[in-house]
Amino acid sequence: DGGITQSPKYLFRKEGQNVTLSCEQNLNHDAMYWYRQDPGQGLRLIYYSQIVNDFQKGDIAEGYSVSREKKESFPLTVTSAQKNPTAFYLCASSIGRGGGQPQHFGDGTRLSIL
Amino acid sequence: GNSVTQMEGPVTLSEEAFLTINCTYTATGYPSLFWYVQYPGEGLQLLLKATKADDKGSNKGFEATYRKETTSFHLEKGSVQVSDSAVYFCALSPPGAGSYQLTFGKGTKLSVIP
């Protein structure tokens, strides 16, 4: 079955530590996204990528970094500069450009501070 | 800029009751509109969509009609079940070939009691 796989499901970060969240898709989608979800705030876009080796900042990119070396993979690193990283992180993909293209989501990674 | 406003939750209904979750939007031109559903501990799933005015999206007994004149996309279901308990998100995608981003509402939590 095609889909988006996020790992790990739960992740704990120590002070001053960088952590990387994995996102893999086998849908052959060109575009991929990372969102942060906090209670009562909906989803906020962190980064997105339209094609391999290219990515753009979203609304809340500070303290995060990404790479897109392969079409199917879009890992997110939460750096020590992100002072409030506790949240639910969602990865998504879509077939490409154009309005009306729905995004497909993974099951998320819940990040907490130790 | 683009924005989506959903009715505040939580919404609690008895099984077989009628459901309406209001959604209004602000956008330039004719955006595409979506409803997503999130079950506890999971990612978002596309529930239905509409890409032009007067379109009706439907799926699993849920319906929503794209109303340009009132800039609305209200979600309805005639008879809810306990299994419909989830958080529902309204979202829009701007028109045009360069559109990638979704703008989400804050979500409405629905609880259905037997």
Q: What is the mean pLDDT of each run of 10 residues along chain A (114 residues)?
A: 90 91 96 91 91 93 97 96 93 80 92 89
Any idea what DSSP says for residue A101?
A: P
Of the candidates A31, A50, A102, which has its C-beta nearest B34's C-beta? A102
Which of B:37-56 have CB within 8 Å of A? 41-46, 49, 51
What pLDDT digit, counting tens, does each position of B36-93 carry?
999 988 999 999 999 999 999 999 999 999 999 999 999 999 999 999 999 999 999 9
- Answer whether B29 touches A (CB < 8 Å): no
Query: Diameter of chain A by CA atoms?
Result: 41
Write down the pLDDT at residue A99.
Answer: 63
Write down the pLDDT at residue B8.
Answer: 83
Q: How far is B72 from chain A (nearest CA, A)?
A: 16
Write down the pLDDT at residue A92.
Answer: 95
Write down the pLDDT at residue A114.
Answer: 82
Q: How far is A111 from chain B (nearest CA, A)?
A: 13
